[in-house]
Structure 1
Amino acid sequence: MSNSFVSGIKDVGNRLFGGYAKLLRMPHTARFTFGAVIACMPYPMVGMTITICVQFYYHNYTLAGSLTAVQAIAGAILSPVLGILVDRFGQRRVSIPLVIIWLIAAMSIITCIKAHVAPWILFCIVPFLACVPPWGAMSRARWTNLLKHDREGINRAMSLCSVADEAMWVIGNPLASILAVISGLLAFSFTGVCVIIGALMFLTCVSTEPASQTELARAEGMTRKTFREHENEKAEQLKADTARQDAEAQARAQGLDEAAVTAAGEQAWQQSREQSHSGRKESIFGPGLLAVCVTWFGLGAFQSAAGISIIAFATESGQKQLTGFVFACFSISSLTGALIYGAKNWQIALYKRFYFCLAVVNLGIGTFLFAKHLWVIMIIYLIIGVCQAPTWINGNQIMLHLVPQSRLTEGMAWMGAMNSIGGSAGSAVAGMFIDRNGSQGGFAVVTTLALASLAVALIGFRQIKISTQTPVLTEIALDEPEREELREVAAIDPAVQANNPDTSFDPRHVEQR
């Protein structure tokens, strides 16, 4: 009995973690994955440290919320710019100067807070805390580059990144609340050490770094501008070819003759090409990307408002030291959700998974208004947290359908920027209501924003659904000989065909749904 029980446990463990272990056994992947997470420590620690320290020294939630809002706005403005720079010039060349700037800004802000300087000085320093390299986007770009043709592998890698991210929040939130109460200098010093260690781990993995646009253009004998135009043209050609195939399949299903099938396919191809040439070639923005960005704005708004409202609620209850553990409950639950989500090769359509998880998170956090005790909020966080990481994983996978590989960091940066802008708006509005009406005023803002965010996300339902039904644009680098090779592999290997149950095998349809 005991042997069968142990073997059963091992089997379950292998099913859950075997795929992750396989990914981490690839050369240098563990180092850059966990290096990125360690370097991201400013995300869970800086905002909470500033909020606790400013409230302690200035006794003003509005000022604390405004400072974190300015930091988030600066990050939102910088993130797309940094994403563009990383894609164009490479990860190392952009990241090193940013790390130096952030370390100087961190020491300056905590020194000024302890010295109780005029608030305008803090507002001048805080924007420099947004000079954080897009570690998460760069890590995901490395995984996507390594697993370009592996749908299940990319899904699991995105889950692995989310698991690592949530582990960071599980550790970072309690540490921030504990260290900031002891000493803001201690909290920022610990964060600075993490940034240095994580940056060294990540940036020294040279072999896994994706080629920059400059390097790719130089290899093709082009300028960067010409290369981007070439990549955009290949992406539009891929979309047009897919539109033709879908139209032909639909015509055949209707029982039309071959001439009508060909005509339907040609018409769909022509319409797709006309649409692609009707706008700016250089822009990666389309209805799908806009819908995702607006959704992420709302997600950031109500979650940030929830964070500052929980801090106020815990302070009123005399339990401020427990705020980090409340947020850690959310992160632990989210980490569990990421592990389970990444262990399964999902057949449910991507847009359905996305909206289900989003609805659970929005509606769950919206119930904080009715919580009377801090432990109730902890329980709600534990229940709904299992859908938090999958929401981000699904968002990252949608992004793979919207932008080509050479601009993936930029696309993810825009998504993160909109989340930051939403977060800044949410924390600023919640801070004003908390100063006037206490934590209940903040939670009223949270509920309103959560419901409004879900409504806005549903408005973009059609655009997001259509986006998930287009081909993954990270596949556009395949030349025709490579496509033919993959077709031959699919013809002799049933496992390849089985990995693409929603469509007949074509490299252009890999990770289509």
Structure 2
Amino acid sequence: MASAVKDSRPGYGQLLRTPGAWTFLLPGFLARQPFAMLTIGIVLLVESTTGSYGVAGTVSAATGVSMALFAPQSGKLADRFGQRAVLLPGVLVHVVGVSALITLALAHAPLWALLAVAVPTGASTPQVGPMVRARWAARLGGSPLMPTAAAFESVTDEFTFVVGPVLATALCTGVHPAAGLIAEAVLTLAGGLLFASQRRSQPPVHRAHSQGGPRVSALSVPGVRALIAAFLGIGAVFGGMQVSLTAFTQDIGQPGINGLLYGIFAGGNMLAGIACGAIAWKVGPRRRLLVAYGLLALATTPLWAVTSVPLLGAVGLVVGLCIAPALITGYTLVESLVPAAARTEAFTWLTGAVALGQAAAATASGQLADRFAPSAGFLVPLAGTVLALTVLLALRAHLVPRSSTLIVGSADRTPGSPADSPADSPAESPSDAFERELNRSLDEGSDERGVGHRMPVTVD
């Protein structure tokens, strides 16, 4: 598939002309839209029936935690059995869970009942974004369009976070408190089934560990663990902003502008993502990630002190502009750190980390808003990004791609051994060729891009 793109500088136009891309892009966009509507829909519905942001944040957090815990398992199953086999039952369980949550909330059920339903609702949330990224990786092979694809997917994600919260807020405040979650369930059902029907673009199924081969695990790659810490902090920004903006606009008597303010924040994220995909970077991905994350921590600093709506929108825009470079660079690093047999799992670990950070931030922000002031919730994004940045700096050495992480669980292989030689692998798959070429190109450009020399090979 890489031969489909021959220009010297890959771009969005070339990416979208990739044969077969639109067969999964359009259904994927529809199916991932509910992801941005779920937590804000829960917050608005539960707060309207209980009058407490703390309770609303707790229910939303339960959904996010279960999503974060089960998403990697969903990705692992998709790598092993195929995306369709995981999506179909997941979509149905999720729709049933959302319907039960709406019913219980409107019936003023106790907190324990809401939490009991929130867990399967979050656990069954379709992981469409990681599945789309895995399809790009399988289709593009060794193409230089992979970084562009990572940027395009981040832009798509952020566009959903522009449309989703605005749509959910408008439905909840203008139609009925449950209307946002009803729309989320309908879109999940329609989009999920349509995406699952696109079987020809699915990445190949990897069953090595079920046939006695080495077990492939994304979490055993040290770089993935470092990225999880980074994405937890990004999730803290999303969750803290959602709950805090809701509390702030309710406090000033203008709940209708909540979606607008969050849309500005997500819009900045989307614009920065578009720019990141169009830039021919000369700085290595590790350095870009650290710089972008440092700017994100700095941008979240003044949020708690802002009391003016226009100024809050401006600061939120800056925060959004700083998120996209960190997200895109993190997803780009996954392509070079993780083998094809665990790539969907790796993407779901990062998506799950965002959901977990979002859940924890929603809970903390809700508690702070209830006990102190609506603006106190904005301290959560700051704390989350600073903590995650500290961990990321400590683990930055693991973000250098190394060939050993591409075969996880095979401790008897060493660099330079015959098993690592492409010439000795007549059955080399397109995914293996992509990994070999990508690591070779990283080696060649490491001095110029600021990534540094490849580190000695270790197998964890």
Q: Normalization by structure 1: what TM-score?
A: 0.75
How many equivalent pairs are there?
419
In structure 2, the CA distance between the partners of 1:283 and 1:360, relative to structure 1 (3 Å rule), is closer
- Aligned counterparts of 1:193 and 1:31: Cα–Cα separation in 2: 21
**Cross-structure match for 1:63:** 55
Identity %: 25
The alignment status of 1:166 with 2:158, answered yes or no, reads yes
Which of 290, 306, 314 matches 1:371?
Answer: 306
Which of 356, 367, 374 matches 1:432?
Answer: 367
Larger radius of gyration: 1
- Aligned counterparts of 1:209 and 1:60: Cα–Cα separation in 2: 43
The one-character-per-residue Cα deviations of 1:80-130 (angstroms, maximum 9, x if unpaired) are 111111111100011100101111111111122112122221111111221
The alignment status of 1:329 with 2:264, answered yes or no, reads yes
Which of 180, 197, 217 matches 1:204?
Answer: 197
In structure 2, the CA distance between the partners of 1:388 and 1:436, relative to structure 1 (3 Å rule), is same
The alignment status of 1:140 with 2:140, answered yes or no, reads no
The alignment status of 1:37 with 2:29, answered yes or no, reads yes
The one-character-per-residue Cα deviations of 1:142-189 (angstroms, maximum 9, x if unpaired) are 101111211x30011111111211221111111111101121332223
- Aligned counterparts of 1:119 and 1:135: Cα–Cα separation in 2: 29
The one-character-per-residue Cα deviations of 1:448-474 (angstroms, maximum 9, x if unpaired) are 33333322322222332xx24658849
| Structure 1: segments with no counterpart, 5+ residues | 1-14, 218-222, 233-281, 486-495, 506-511
Which of 346, 353, 356 matches 1:418?
Answer: 353
- Aligned counterparts of 2:105 and 2:445: Cα–Cα separation in 1: 61
| Structure 2: segments with no counterpart, 5+ residues | 1-6, 408-418, 429-436, 447-452, 455-460
Which of 212, 220, 223 matches 1:226?
Answer: 212
The one-character-per-residue Cα deviations of 1:345-374 (angstroms, maximum 9, x if unpaired) are 322111111112112222212220121112
In structure 2, the CA distance between the partners of 1:446 and 1:185, relative to structure 1 (3 Å rule), is closer
**Cross-structure match for 1:153:** 145
SS in 2 for 1:372: coil
**Cross-structure match for 2:220:** 285
- Aligned counterparts of 2:139 and 2:241: Cα–Cα separation in 1: 37
Q: Normalization by structure 2: what TM-score?
A: 0.83
Which of 121, 131, 139 matches 1:129?
Answer: 121
How far off is 1:313 after superposition? 1.0
TM alignment of 1:46-445, pairs within 5 A: 46-130=38-122, 131-150=124-143, 152-181=144-173, 182-214=175-207, 217=208, 224-229=210-215, 284-445=219-380
Which of 413, 423, 435 matches 1:480?
Answer: 423
SS in 2 for 1:394: helix
Which residue identity is paired with 1:424? A
Which of 447, 451, 455 matches 2:382?
Answer: 447
In structure 2, the CA distance between the partners of 1:291 and 1:409, relative to structure 1 (3 Å rule), is same
- Aligned counterparts of 1:120 and 1:187: Cα–Cα separation in 2: 22
**Cross-structure match for 1:24:** 16
Bigger Cα displacement from structure 2, 47-56 vs 193-202: 193-202
How far off is 1:406 after superposition? 0.8
In structure 2, the CA distance between the partners of 1:441 and 1:195, relative to structure 1 (3 Å rule), is same
- Aligned counterparts of 1:128 and 1:24: Cα–Cα separation in 2: 36
Is the Cα contact below 8 Å between 1:90 and 1:212 reproduced in 2? yes
In structure 2, the CA distance between the partners of 1:284 and 1:168, relative to structure 1 (3 Å rule), is closer
SS in 2 for 1:419: helix
Is the Cα contact below 8 Å between 1:400 and 1:472 reproduced in 2? no
Bigger Cα displacement from structure 2, 49-58 vs 198-207: 198-207
Which residue identity is paired with 2:327? W
